[in-house]
Structure 1
Amino acid sequence: MSKLTIRSLEELEQYEGAEMGISDYHTITQQQINQFADATLDHQWIHTDAERAATETPFKATIAHGYLTVSLLPYLWQQITTIENLKMQVNYEIESLRFNQAVTVDSEVRLRAKLLSVKNLRGIAKARLEVTLEIKDSKKPAYTGIITFLYHFNE
């Protein structure tokens, strides 16, 4: 499936109920995990201490913060769909999110997204997406959920 380009609320509405696509894979590195730990002040050893994680966790490696994987949503979504003619995009809501599987360091993840609904809020598009973060070579996804973006299109 090729990347979609959407230029208006009306174009977005045409995809309601459809799978929008799948992003490229993104590798979660220890450097990215450490930078996220620094940014969020969450230095729990299961994320940052590779030696201890290798011996004391069932994962046998450090794992990405769950919120690190969630923070990749806009980046991965932009690989699936280009939304043009925008004043701005706002991350509006996480309606539900279930972490299903830990993402170990050096795992490759990708986003699968389906557009559940689009509502016109006085010219602002409220887009609800069903999202799944897949882990390469794993049957279980990292998470599944429903998120909402607000798109403020230019006239």
Structure 2
Amino acid sequence: MDKLICKNFSEFRANEGQSLPTGNWLLVTQKMIDAFAEATLDFQWVHVDHERIKKESPFKKPIAHGFLSVSLLSKMLMDLIVVDSMTMGVNYGLNKVRFPNPVLVDSKVRLHSSIAKIEEYGKNGLKITWNCSVEIENTEKPACVAEFVSLMFE
């Protein structure tokens, strides 16, 4: 997988407005969905009740929580970028989030992203706004489209 590799924040800033490499495929398993349900206490039947899903769901398979897709953004972005001088990264928030298409269990997803904006943040930090789209393999509409904001510190 290609990565954006920068020595420091000065080098990283030069990438504002640029697209990142496309991420690798990530398999969304029932184990991940169950763990997310445990962590968030969201046991809605469309995620975890296999018998009911077979009878009532139009998808006939469990679907991942939409917020699971959002939660994967940090991991998927950090798989695509290395800033050697960075000591810490922190999630800052989301400006826009949509879930155009559900992620069925055992689907593969990958990230398409760009660096929309880079701003100074305090003495040793940057605030980065990322445009993110989580593609589902063999599916026209993405799982998640989000404007994700994070902080990086040197």
Q: Same fold (TM over 0.5)?
A: yes
Taking the aligned partners of 2:72 and 2:120, their CA distance within structure 1 comes to 26
Deviation at 1:6, TM superposition (A): 2.1
CA offsets 1:73-97 (integer angstroms, 9 cap, x no match): 1111122112322221110010111
Taking the aligned partners of 1:57 and 1:121, their CA distance within structure 2 comes to 46
The 8 Å contact of residues 12 and 118 in structure 1, kept in 2 or not, is answered as: no
CA offsets 1:23-75 (integer angstroms, 9 cap, x no match): 11111111111111111111111100122112211111110011111111111
* 5+ residue gaps, structure 2: none
Letter in 2 for 1:115: I
Give the corresponding residue for 2:57.
57
The 8 Å contact of residues 22 and 110 in structure 2, kept in 1 or not, is answered as: yes
Matched, 1:20 2:15: no
State how 1:1-155 maps to structure 2 within 5 Å. 2-122=2-122, 123-153=124-154
Q: Which moved more, 1:108-117 or 1:47-56?
A: 47-56
Cα root mean square deviation, aligned: 1.2
* 5+ residue gaps, structure 1: none
Runs of 4+ in 1 over 4 A off after TM superposition: none
User: What percentage of residue pairs aligned between the two structures are identical?
Assistant: 35
Taking the aligned partners of 1:35 and 1:145, their CA distance within structure 2 comes to 23
